[in-house]
């Protein structure tokens, strides 16, 4: 490994943060086609990128493909990369784009309905559903092992586009306009689908919110 390049122990605190000195020197070394710098980049950023890709695709093999594609893109396009930009942000976006391509390819012909999980109303037009909720906070609920399993299962069970929208908006921190661009939808459609996806998750997770914890 080239001595002039500091190995990076992991991605930037936020993968969407700004460039720091270490990252800038890493980018400079990558532009010099330094093999050690490339390995340092791969080892430093892979865990975070793999996690993002796994979340979006819901599949280990596809996630690994996405990460591989992202680093290949870095290798090919590093000369176009502006050093003042955040490397983590760039990588994150490449992985998200690759994952979305996989999602789109995989959802052809798949049903997109989550109608059964939307709010229901009685004959007077009033909401049907529980009238009490547990006092436990999200952190307290997550202390139970079954909560983590239920949340993962609920998110994985959403149709691919809905899952992608929830993950991009609520977990990866993109705004509505960015999600719309990434998915090729208009912002209104993203808002509608985000709300429907969140409502579906809420319905699926409702048993966890019962006051008796049942």
Partner 1 sequence: MNKLHLKWFVWLLGDHEHAGALKCLMGALFLKYCPGHLTCRAFERFVLDYHEGKLSERQRSVFAFHMRICPRCRVHFESYVRAIELGQKLFARDDEALVPEDVPEELIKAILATRASP
Binding flag, residue 72, partner 1 (CB under 8 A):
yes
Binding flag, residue 214, partner 1 (CB under 8 A):
no
The nearer residue to partner 1, 48 or 183, going by C-beta atoms, is 48
Cα 31 from Cα 54, distance rounded (Å): 29
Question: Among 95, 98, 165, 194, which residue sits at the site for partner 1 (rule: CB under 8 A)?
Answer: 194
Rounded to a whole number of angstroms, the minimum distance from the CB of residue 1 to partner 1 is: 12
x/- binding map, residues 135-154, to partner 1, per CB under 8 A?
---xx-xx----xx--xx--
Tokens representing 214? 């049942």
Question: Could you tell me which stretch among 21-29, 60-68, 92-100, 104-112 binds partner 1 (CB under 8 A)?
Answer: 60-68
Cα 56 from Cα 105, distance rounded (Å): 13
- φ/ψ of 116, rounded to 5, equals -65, -20
x/- binding map, residues 151-190, to partner 1, per CB under 8 A?
xx--x----------x---xx-------------------
**Nearest-CA neighbor of 111 among 59, 53, 169, 157?**
157
Cα 94 from Cα 50, distance rounded (Å): 12
Q: For residues 114-133, which are near partner 1 according to CB under 8 A?
A: 119, 121-133
Question: Could you tell me which stretch among 20-28, 99-107, 179-187, 200-208 binds partner 1 (CB under 8 A)?
Answer: 200-208
Rounded to a whole number of angstroms, the minimum distance from the CB of residue 133 to partner 1 is: 5
x/- binding map, residues 88-107, to partner 1, per CB under 8 A?
--------------------
Distances (CA, A) of 2 to 25, 36, 42, 84, 156: 12, 5, 15, 22, 42
Are 28 and 60 within 8 A, CB to CB? no
The helix (run of H) or strand (run of E) holding residue 76 is helix 60-77
Which residues on adjacent β-strands are paired with residue 121? 127
Cα 117 from Cα 158, distance rounded (Å): 10
Tokens representing 195? 């709300």
Question: Which residues of this chain interact with partner 1, rule CB under 8 A?
Answer: 10, 35, 38-39, 42-43, 46-48, 50-51, 55, 64, 67-68, 71-72, 75, 119, 121-133, 138-139, 141-142, 147-148, 151-152, 155, 166, 170-171, 191, 194-195, 198-199, 201-202, 205-206, 208-209
């Amino acid at each position: 490994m080239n001595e002039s390049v500091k190995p990076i122990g992991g991605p930037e605190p936020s993968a969407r943060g700004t460039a720091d000195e270490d990252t800038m020197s890493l980018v400079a070394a990558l532009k010099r086609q330094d093999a050690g710098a490339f390995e340092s980049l791969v080892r430093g950023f892979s865990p975070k990128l793999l996690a993002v890709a796994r979340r979006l695709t819901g599949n280990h093999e596809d996630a690994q493909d996405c990460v591989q594609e992202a680093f290949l893109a870095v290798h090919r396009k590093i000369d176009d990369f502006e050093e003042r930009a955040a490397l983590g942000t760039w990588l994150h976006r490449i992985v998200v784009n690759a994952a979305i391509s996989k999602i789109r390819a995989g959802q052809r012909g798949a049903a997109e309905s989550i109608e059964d999980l939307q709010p229901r109303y009685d004959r007077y037009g009033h909401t049907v559903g529980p009238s009490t909720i547990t006092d436990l906070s999200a952190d307290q609920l997550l202390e139970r092992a079954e909560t983590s399993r239920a949340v993962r299962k609920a998110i994985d069970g959403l149709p691919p586009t809905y899952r992608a929208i929830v993950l991009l908006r609520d977990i990866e921190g993109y705004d509505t306009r960015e999600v719309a661009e990434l998915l090729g939808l208009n912002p209104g459609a993203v808002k509608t689908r985000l709300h429907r996806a969140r409502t579906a998750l809420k319905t699926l997770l409702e048993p966890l919110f019962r006051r008796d914890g049942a």
